[in-house]
Amino acid sequence: MVAADNVELAPNTQAMTGLVRQRIAPPMNLPPRQQEPLYYRGGDGNAVFAASFRLLPQRITVEAAGEVTLGERTATVEQRFSYSIAP
């Protein structure tokens, strides 16, 4: 199970049937995510995955850095802003 970064999954093991949680990730290519995927192995075709979920609020953070260089008659100011927008 690969949840979107704005979704928090809480598996409900009491309600799941036919699935065994895998602790080691199988070799596969997945899209980059902030959360680790959940790996399960199904025993038959009647497996049921159950979980509760919560939508997380959007987060926006910014980092700022400034540098001032002073000369005899001049001053140079350089600013850098790094934005991170998480859905």
66 neighbors 78 (Cβ within 8 angstroms): yes
| 2 within a domain of the structure (yes/no) | no
In a domain, 79, yes or no: yes
47 in Cβ contact with 17 (< 8 Å): yes
**pLDDT reported for residue 87:** 65
**In this structure, is residue 61 part of a structural domain?**
yes
Judge whether residue 75 has pLDDT over 90.
yes
Q: What is the rounded distance in angstroms from the CA atom of residue 85 to the CA atom of residue 83?
A: 6
Q: What is the pLDDT of residues 12-46, one digit of tens each?
A: 989 998 898 888 877 777 777 777 888 888 877 78
Cα 59–65–70 angle (5° rounding)? 160
Dihedral angle over CA of 31, 36, 42, 48, nearest 10: -100
The answer to whether position 45 is within a domain reads yes
Number of domains within the chain: 1
Q: Rounded mean pLDDT of 59-84?
A: 93
Instruction: Give pLDDT, residue 79.
Output: 96
Query: How far is C-alpha 38 from the chain's CA centre?
Result: 13
Within a domain: residue 53? yes
- Write out the residue range of the structural domain in which residue 64 sits: 7-86
pTM above 0.85, yes or no: no
